[in-house]
Amino acid sequence: MTTADLDNTGILLAIRDLRVELPAPIGEETFTVVDGISFNVHRGETVALVGESGAGKSMTAAAVMHLLPDDAIVAGSIELDGRELTRLSERELVRVRGREIGLVFQDPSTALNPMYTAGWHVTEAVTLTRGLRRKAAVDAAREALVHVGFPAERFDAYPHELSGGMRQRAMLAIALAGEPKLLIADEPTTALDVVAGARIRAVLAELRRERDLALLVISHDLPMVAELASRVVVMYAGEVVEHGPTSAVFGAPAHPYTRDLLECLPPLGGHGTRDQKHRLAVIPMPDGPPGEGCRYAPRCRDVIQACRDEHPSMRPTHGGEARCILVPEAEAAR
């Protein structure tokens, strides 16, 4: 972490050395899905977790919400507004979920109960988090849905009667029903078309401005991240490999993995100067715990023997850090 990132001023969510282990499918061993990650989210700030599937992004969010499997092993610190969440009882955590942290699940088509209307879902969330009586809860639910761009006349529509964009707006209204300080959005635009995705991005940006809401966005959608996030945390194989201001990380990526992710993007408008000859190699299947070297070494174009022999530590670079021994000394000295 850089000095700026460790500044306690305005920090809402502070994650320190978070580690999550799950039981292996066979045998008594465990495998690590989140391995010692640390980052902050300040009030009113949007931070994005990016990386391929299996990087540990959603598991990080599940750890924050305490929604991991019962047999998960969690170590490290998760502080929300100065309070350590890992020490809270389940009863105390129930009051945190929805009231202080809202969560938008990855797939609204499976998160919404098909037996109930959009309005019922939001009304139930308002009742549980704010304790309002029925009429007041319905009025608040209608207001919450309209606020995220959900048509008032579709209040009594069932999930199957709604478009993907409308279902996602309903999920947003549910997550915001308790007026939380922090909203975690897990792949909020993945299942949407371009137009619906753009509208959801606009709604998220507006909510952040209006409510001074902190956003933790988990996404493969790097153009969306570039538009919404002020800082980005790049994860690979359970650990953070680079973090810093989004403009710096995307403009001059210091870690080879970040660079390779960005080079795999198609040029905007279907044409441009980005080299499309490069394709990111398939993730190699692990045959055991990570070795001593860099976890990205088997896929890295710039790998040298030292990368295979030594697990790199984070090195300062352009306002953030990168986990790479090849970061130029001039960058590391900043």
Q: Are residues 208 and 276 in the same domain?
A: yes
Round the average pLDDT of the chain to a whole number and report it: 87
- What value does the mean pLDDT take over residues 49-65? 93
Q: Please check whether residue 236 is in contact with residue 259, taking contact to mean a CB–CB distance below 8 angstroms.
A: no
Q: Are residues 42 and 55 in the same domain?
A: yes
Check pLDDT > 90 for residue 76. Answer: yes
Tokens of 39: 């980052």
Between 21 and 267, whose confidence is greater?
Answer: 21
Q: What is the pLDDT of residues 152-164, one digit of tens each?
A: 999 999 999 999 8
Check pLDDT > 60 for residue 7. Answer: no
Q: What is the pLDDT of residues 144-187, one digit of tens each?
A: 999 888 999 999 999 999 998 899 899 999 999 999 999 999 98
Q: Are residues 164 and 262 in the same domain?
A: no
- What value does the mean pLDDT take over residues 64-74? 92
Asked whether residue 106 is assigned to any structural domain, the reply reads: no
- What value does the mean pLDDT take over residues 65-80? 93
Q: Are residues 220 and 293 in the same domain?
A: yes
Q: Are residues 93 and 118 in the same domain?
A: no
Asked whether residue 171 is assigned to any structural domain, the reply reads: yes
Check pLDDT > 90 for residue 18. Answer: yes
Q: Are residues 209 and 172 in the same domain?
A: no
Asked whether residue 260 is assigned to any structural domain, the reply reads: yes
What span, in angstroms and rounded, lies between the C-alpha atoms of 249 and 158?
42
Residue 198 is predicted with a pLDDT of 84
- What value does the mean pLDDT take over residues 235-260? 95
Report helix, strand and coil shares of the chain as percent, to nearest 5: 40, 20, 40
Q: Are residues 192 and 131 in the same domain?
A: no
Residue 329 is predicted with a pLDDT of 54
Residue 6 is predicted with a pLDDT of 43
* Strand bridging mode 46-50 / 11-23: unpaired
Asked whether residue 218 is assigned to any structural domain, the reply reads: yes
Q: Are residues 192 and 60 in the same domain?
A: yes
Q: Which of 179, 202, 236 is the last residue of a domain?
A: 179
Query: Quick one: which of 191, 252, 197, 266 has its CA closest to 225?
Result: 197
How far is the CA of 98 from the CAs of 94, 101, 111, 189, in angstroms? 8, 5, 15, 21
- The DSSP line for 288-330 is SS--SS-TTGGG-TT--HHHHHSPPPPEEETTEEE--TTS-HH
Check pLDDT > 70 for residue 290. Answer: no
DSSP 3-state of 41: strand
Residue 291 is predicted with a pLDDT of 67
Residue 282: pLDDT band (50, 70, 90) is low
Residue 284 is predicted with a pLDDT of 62
What span, in angstroms and rounded, lies between the C-alpha atoms of 119 and 131?
17
Asked whether residue 105 is assigned to any structural domain, the reply reads: no
Residue 25 is predicted with a pLDDT of 74
Q: Are residues 34 and 139 in the same domain?
A: no
Query: Quick one: which of 135, 139, 67, 76 has its CA closest to 96?
Result: 67
Check pLDDT > 80 for residue 16. Answer: yes
Residue 281: pLDDT band (50, 70, 90) is low
Q: Are residues 65 and 85 in the same domain?
A: yes
Q: Are residues 231 and 186 in the same domain?
A: yes
Q: Under 8 Å CB-to-CB from 173, ≥6 apart: which residues?
A: 122, 125, 141, 144, 145, 147, 148, 150
**Residue 179: burial class (beta carbons within 10 Å; 0-12, 13-18, 19+):** middle
Asked whether residue 236 is assigned to any structural domain, the reply reads: yes
Residue 333 is predicted with a pLDDT of 44
Residue 267: pLDDT band (50, 70, 90) is low
Check pLDDT > 90 for residue 265. Answer: no
Q: Output the pTM of the full model.
A: 0.87
In 132-154, which positions are buried (b, 16+ CB within 10 angstroms) versus exposed (e)?
Answer: beeeebbebbbebbebbbbeeeb
Asked whether residue 323 is assigned to any structural domain, the reply reads: yes
Asked whether residue 107 is assigned to any structural domain, the reply reads: no
* Strand bridging mode 239-245 / 231-236: antiparallel
**CATH label of the domain that carries residue 18:** 3.40.50.300
- What value does the mean pLDDT take over residues 237-244? 96
Check pLDDT > 80 for residue 270. Answer: no
Q: What is the pLDDT of residues 98-139, one digit of tens each?
A: 899 999 987 777 889 999 999 999 999 999 999 899 999 999
Tokens of 184: 């975690």
Check pLDDT > 80 for residue 279. Answer: no
Q: Are residues 169 and 295 in the same domain?
A: no
- What value does the mean pLDDT take over residues 244-270? 85
Q: Which of 155, 179, 203 is the last residue of a domain?
A: 179
Provide the number of structural domains found in the chain. 2
Residue 288 is predicted with a pLDDT of 55
What is the percentage of the chain residues whose pLDDT exceeds 70? Answer: 87
Check pLDDT > 90 for residue 321. Answer: yes
Q: Which of 125, 151, 179 is the last residue of a domain?
A: 179
- State which residues form the domain around 11: 3-100+180-332
